[in-house]
Amino acid sequence: MKYLKIIFLFIAVQVTAQQGGMWIPSLLEGMNEQEMTSLGSKLTAKDIYDVNNSSLKDAIGHFNGGCTSEVISTEGLLLTNHHCGFGQIQSHSSLENDYLKDGFWAMNKSEELPNEDLYVEFIVRIDDVTTKALNGITDTMTEREKQSAIDKNINELNKNVAKETWQDVKVKPFYKGNQYFLFVTEKFEDIRLVGAPPSSIGKFGSDTDNWVFPRHTGDFSLFRIYADKNNRPAKYSKDNVPYTPKHFLPVSLDGIEEGDFTMVFGFPGRTNEYLPAVAIQHITQEFNPSNIAIREAALKEIDAQMKASDAVRIKYASKQARIANAWKKWIGENLGIKKSNAIAERRAFEVAFKKALKEKDLEKNYGNILPEFEQLYADFADINIKRRNFIEVFSVTNELMQMTFRAYQLEQVALNKPEKLEEVRTALVNRLKGIHKNFDATVDKGVFNNVMPLYNPTKVDASIYNKTSFTDIDKAIQLLEGDATKVVENLNKDAAYQYAKPMIEEFYTKIDPEFQYKNQAIAALQKTYMKALMEALPNARYFPDANSTLRVTYGQVRGYSPRDAVYYNPVSYLDGVIEKYVPGDYEFDVPQKLLDLYDAKDFGQYTDTNGKVPVCFLGTNHTTGGNSGSPAIDAHGNLIGLNFDRVWEGTMSDMNYDPEICRNIMVDVRYVLFIVDKYAGAKHLIDEMKLVHPKKK
Ligand code: ARG
Ligand code: GLU
């Protein structure tokens, strides 16, 4: 008995220690399949990805290039996060129809709302094309020569791939360019809004609760994919019909408990898991702090103005969420790296790496990598910060500067490529209209006063707001009229343009080129380092960094201990929503209807075994930005939840996955169903789904 126990413990430790990783769905057979089984999965690799038969992957759609979504009915019903559909919900909202505040529910298909520029993309097939992509590449080539040879090879691959006419193809580098994979895809462009809870459910807890647990956010929204009469991708048309998917996810009513297998299937955007210690140090001690400061300065103004005015609140909702989201994530990332001692650990790892190089006689090939990293980063730090700070001011936080930044590009065209003037002007006018749709000059001026001192303290002059044409869309468009000479002349007379131009010029002529040059050297070395790691330490497991391609990550439902003597249970309940409720608060208000349902205990079939409505749960799935909206899938392939966040201390998992404290946060699908059915009264949507009971035999 004792003997058995020890073995058990050993296995358990091994399994937790091995967790993490975002795996390529076409390569799960073998190691991943075994590991998934050991964690409780009943799925085979082919259940997840199969080219010849329908499989789970056919239900997973890349949502507008930045989030994930999944099909949950035979009629193309699509589930994603509230924060993923936020831009669409906002764009249909007005003071009269405030869907952000009140929610939106289409009670039949004719009420579903079309969305310009929204698309969902499915993966048809994944092929390893490394040999072809790297054909003809030699060590004697410069980085530039290598890249242009690779680009040529990829062009050939794109041209010659076997695919249907309505399908698309793209090739992407993996393992820092040591491998290449080709994706055949199908892109649907008629995606309509079906339902969204009010923000007081879909964004409950807002920024205070963002990136933290315990969490009580019903972060979901519903869309529907429409296709042409042949069930193929098509632009919006009223004649389109609901899409019949190759696969859709059944929805489990049986929920989860600690230790249950979970898999998250989606499109993680970007990770950097193989950085040298010196890079982690630069990012968390220099780079992040400077960008955090700029966003904090912007948010101070935006938050105050949003609270003061409903019109500003609606206009700035998406912008504020975008700015605040990364701001808080970076703070958590810095915290987690510090708390887990990640830099020292990475240094210790590098000692082991050097030892392995020596033992395997690889020093002559790779012995210089680490010292070179030290040197490159020392030389890269300032320019990396300067460039990103520019972007934070001229592209993320301040919109007057953003408009001048874009206008500068028009001036360049007017001066150098007048034949393109018309095309670029049209694009710019559309851009300016887009900005002005949600622009408030007073707010923007406040932001300017707060952020500009952090970029260029010697040159802050907000008087430009009273003189420029850019703060008024009609005047701004007028400014851009006429022939090339006129455009140049008028632009250079504008006060804001005059003010911003030297900084923009510095960016284009000095900052960005220097950054690109140094960054390229780092990327090349990182590619060599990746190869060296795999050769020197071949028994470790290497998953490719996230690159917005479809990945599988898996784990188990687990709580965690954020600090001494504190343990977070993995499941939160509706009771917690009520505990957090602050009447009238912009973050923690709760809709009356939800309070009524709670008081009446009108929970339907959506409770846990304890009679409570579950809201969110935690897992050890290794996720990142882009995994938002990804389905959490049970051991049998059913939907149990919707990924939407990570815990604060765990956001460092983009650089350093630590199974002790890295957790992803999911909405329990029963909360989604409860809100759709009981809160919204949209029972027809529930009827459209396939509800299953995998745990009741
Ligand atoms: N932190 C989550 C993600 O990275 C959710 C963001 C949306 N919520 C918010 N309060 N901004 O994107
Ligand atoms: N909320 C994130 C997203 O929009 C997912 C959370 C994360 O970064 O893990 O993709």
Q: Of residues 62, 82, 83, 282, which has the active-site annotation?
A: 83
3 state DSSP class of 572: strand
Catalytic-residue membership of 219:
yes
What is the average pLDDT value for the chain, to the nearest integer?
A: 95
Residue 639 Cα to ligand 1 midpoint, Å, equals 21
Contacts of 266 (CB under 8 A, 6+ apart): 60, 68, 550, 551, 623, 626, 627, 629, 630, 631, 643
Residue with CA closest to ligand 2 atom 2:
625
- Testing ligand 1's pocket by substitution, the residue of 81, 318, 628 carrying the most ligand atoms inside 8 A of its CB is 628
Residue 3: pLDDT band with limits 50, 70, 90: very low
- Testing ligand 1's pocket by substitution, the residue of 64, 83, 306, 649 carrying the most ligand atoms inside 8 A of its CB is 83
- Residues lining ligand 1, CB < 6 A? 83, 203, 206-207, 210-211, 321, 324-325, 625, 628, 644-645
- Residue ranges of the domains in the chain? 2-119+189-272+543-696, 277-536
- Residue 42: CB atoms within 10 Å: 13
Q: CA 543, CA 21: separation in Å to the nearest integer? A: 6
Residue 19: pLDDT band with limits 50, 70, 90: confident
- Testing ligand 2's pocket by substitution, the residue of 22, 643, 657 carrying the most ligand atoms inside 8 A of its CB is 643
3 state DSSP class of 150: helix
How far from the centroid of its chain's Cα atoms is residue 273's Cα?
A: 16
Buried residues in 49-64 as b, exposed as e (16+ CB within 10 A): bbeeeebbbbbbbbbb
Q: What is the mean pLDDT of residues 263-290?
A: 98
Q: Which pLDDT does position 351 carry in this prediction?
A: 98
Q: CA 254, CA 692: separation in Å to the nearest integer? A: 8
How far from the centroid of its chain's Cα atoms is residue 8's Cα?
A: 37
Asked whether 622 and 19 are in contact (CB, 8 A), the reply is yes
Q: What is the mean pLDDT of residues 41-67?
A: 97
Q: Which pLDDT does position 143 carry in this prediction?
A: 86
Catalytic-residue membership of 83:
yes
Q: How does pLDDT run across 85-122, given as a tens digit for each residue? A: 999 999 999 999 999 999 999 999 999 999 999 999 99
Q: Which pLDDT does position 1 carry in this prediction?
A: 36
Token output for 563:
């600090």
Residue 295 Cα to ligand 1 midpoint, Å, equals 15
DSSP string, 659-695: TTT--EEEEEHHHHHHIIIIIT--HHHHHHS-EE-TT
3 state DSSP class of 226: strand
Residue with CA closest to ligand 1 atom 3:
645
C-alpha dist (Å) from residue 388 to 384, 392, 576? 6, 6, 39
Contacts of 347 (CB under 8 A, 6+ apart): 277
Q: How does pLDDT run across 426-471, given as a tens digit for each residue? A: 999 999 999 999 999 999 999 999 999 999 999 899 999 999 999 9
Q: Which pLDDT does position 8 carry in this prediction?
A: 38
- Which fold, 2-119+189-272+543-696? Thrombin, subunit H (2.40.10)
Residue 288: pLDDT band with limits 50, 70, 90: very high
Residue with CA closest to ligand 1 atom 6:
325
Question: In this structure, which long-range contacts are made by residues 162-166, counting pairs with CB atoms below 8 Å and at least 24 apart in sequence?
Answer: 163/124, 166/232, 166/233
Residue with token string 């990924």:
643
Residue 354 Cα to ligand 1 midpoint, Å, equals 39
- Residue 378: CB atoms within 10 Å: 11
Q: Which pLDDT does position 73 carry in this prediction?
A: 98
- Residues lining ligand 2, CB < 6 A? 67, 623-628, 644-646
Q: Which pLDDT does position 2 carry in this prediction?
A: 38
Q: Which pLDDT does position 243 carry in this prediction?
A: 98
Ligand nearest to the CA of 666: 2
Residue with CA closest to ligand 2 atom 6:
645
Q: Which pLDDT does position 473 carry in this prediction?
A: 97
Instruction: Decide if pLDDT at 9 tops 70.
Output: no
Q: Which pLDDT does position 15 carry in this prediction?
A: 42
Q: How does pLDDT run across 391-430, given as a tens digit for each residue? A: 999 999 999 999 999 999 999 999 999 999 999 999 999 9
Query: Which strand (E) or helix (H) includes residue 196?
Result: strand 190-196
Q: Which pLDDT does position 697 carry in this prediction?
A: 64
Residue 299: pLDDT band with limits 50, 70, 90: very high
Q: Which atom of ligand 1 is nearest to the CA of 86?
A: 7
Q: How does pLDDT run across 308-365, given as a tens digit for each residue? A: 999 999 999 999 999 999 999 999 999 999 999 999 999 999 999 999 999 999 999 9
Residue 147 Cα to ligand 2 midpoint, Å, equals 31
Residue 203 Cα to ligand 2 midpoint, Å, equals 14
Q: Which pLDDT does position 18 carry in this prediction?
A: 55
Token output for 163:
């695919």
- Testing ligand 1's pocket by substitution, the residue of 80, 90, 210, 212 carrying the most ligand atoms inside 8 A of its CB is 210
Q: Of residues 127, 209, 219, 254, which has the active-site annotation?
A: 219
Instruction: Decide if pLDDT at 603 tops 60.
Output: yes
Q: How does pLDDT run across 168-202, given as a tens digit for each residue? A: 999 999 999 999 999 999 999 999 999 999 999 99
Asked whether 586 and 304 are in contact (CB, 8 A), the reply is no
Instruction: Decide if pLDDT at 684 tops 70.
Output: yes
Residue 378: pLDDT band with limits 50, 70, 90: very high
Rounded to 10°, the helix 369-391/512-536 angle is 140
Q: Of residues 628, 630, 634, 645, which has the active-site annotation?
A: 628
Q: Which atom of ligand 2 is nearest to the CA of 211?
A: 6
- Give the β-pairing of 551-556 and 261-266: antiparallel
Q: Which pLDDT does position 293 carry in this prediction?
A: 98
Instruction: Decide if pLDDT at 11 tops 90.
Output: no
Residue 625 Cα to ligand 2 midpoint, Å, equals 4
Residue 494 Cα to ligand 1 midpoint, Å, equals 37
Q: What percent of the chain clears pLDDT 90, i.e. is strictly above it? A: 95
Ligand nearest to the CA of 628: 2
Ligand nearest to the CA of 662: 2
Residue 113 Cα to ligand 1 midpoint, Å, equals 24
